[in-house]
Amino acid sequence: MKGLILSGGKGTRLRPLTYTGAKQLVPVANKPVLFYAIEDLVTSGITDIGIIVGDTVEQIKTAVGDGARFGARVTYIQQERPAGLAHAVGTARAFLGRDRFVMYLGDNFIREGIAPLVQAFARSAANACILLYRVPNPSNLGVAVLDGDRVVRLVEKPRERISDLAIVGVYMFDHHIFAAVDSIKPSARGELEITDAIQWLIDHGYHVQPHLLDGCWIDTGKMEDMLEANRLVLEGMQPQMQGTVDECSQLAGLVVVQDGAEIHNSILRGPLIIGARTRVSDSYVGPFTAIDHDCVLESVEIANSIVLEHSRIIDIEHRIEDSLIGRYAQVHRSPVKPRAYKLLLGDHSKVVVL
- Whether 214 shows a pLDDT value over 70: the answer reads yes
Can you tell me the mean pLDDT for 213-230? 83
pLDDT tens digits, one per residue of 245-296: 999 999 999 999 999 999 999 999 999 999 999 999 999 999 999 999 999 9
Can you tell me the mean pLDDT for 3-15? 70
pLDDT of residue 347: 52
pLDDT of residue 89: 95
Can you tell me the mean pLDDT for 185-195? 87
A 10 A CB-CB count for 333 gives 10
25-29, 91-95, 151-155, 187-191 — most confident range: 91-95
Query: Could you tell me whether strands 27-28 and 2-7 are parallel, antiparallel, or unpaired per DSSP bridges?
Result: unpaired
Can you tell me the mean pLDDT for 39-51? 96
- Closest by Cα among 107, 103, 348 to 220: 107
Query: In the structure, what pLDDT confidence band is assigned to residue 80 with cuts at 50, 70 and 90?
Result: confident
Q: Are 39 and 49 in contact (CB under 8 A)?
A: no
Can you tell me the mean pLDDT for 78-97? 91
- The pTM of the full predicted model, rounded to 2 decimals, is 0.87
Amino acid found at 198: I
- Whether 72 shows a pLDDT value over 60: the answer reads yes
Backbone angles phi, psi at 233, to 5 degrees: -70, -45
pLDDT of residue 311: 93
- Closest by Cα among 124, 128, 125, 123 to 144: 128
Higher-confidence residue: 25 or 117?
Answer: 117
pLDDT of residue 121: 94
Percent of the chain with pLDDT over 70: 90
pLDDT of residue 8: 65
Q: Are 266 and 283 in contact (CB under 8 A)?
A: yes
Higher-confidence residue: 354 or 62?
Answer: 62
Compute the distance between CA of residue 15 and CA of residue 350 in angstroms, rounded to an integer.
10
Beta carbons within 8 Å of 302's beta carbon, 6+ residues apart: 283, 284, 285, 286, 289, 291, 313, 319, 320, 321, 323
A 10 A CB-CB count for 339 gives 9
pLDDT of residue 127: 95
- Whether 43 shows a pLDDT value over 60: the answer reads yes
pLDDT of residue 267: 97
- Whether 345 shows a pLDDT value over 70: the answer reads no
The strand pairing partners of 245, in sequence order, are: 263
DSSP codes, 203-220: HTT--EEEEE--S-EEET
pLDDT tens digits, one per residue of 136-159: 877 777 889 888 888 888 987 777
Compute the distance between CA of residue 241 and CA of residue 255 in angstroms, rounded to an integer.
8
Percent of the chain with pLDDT over 90: 59
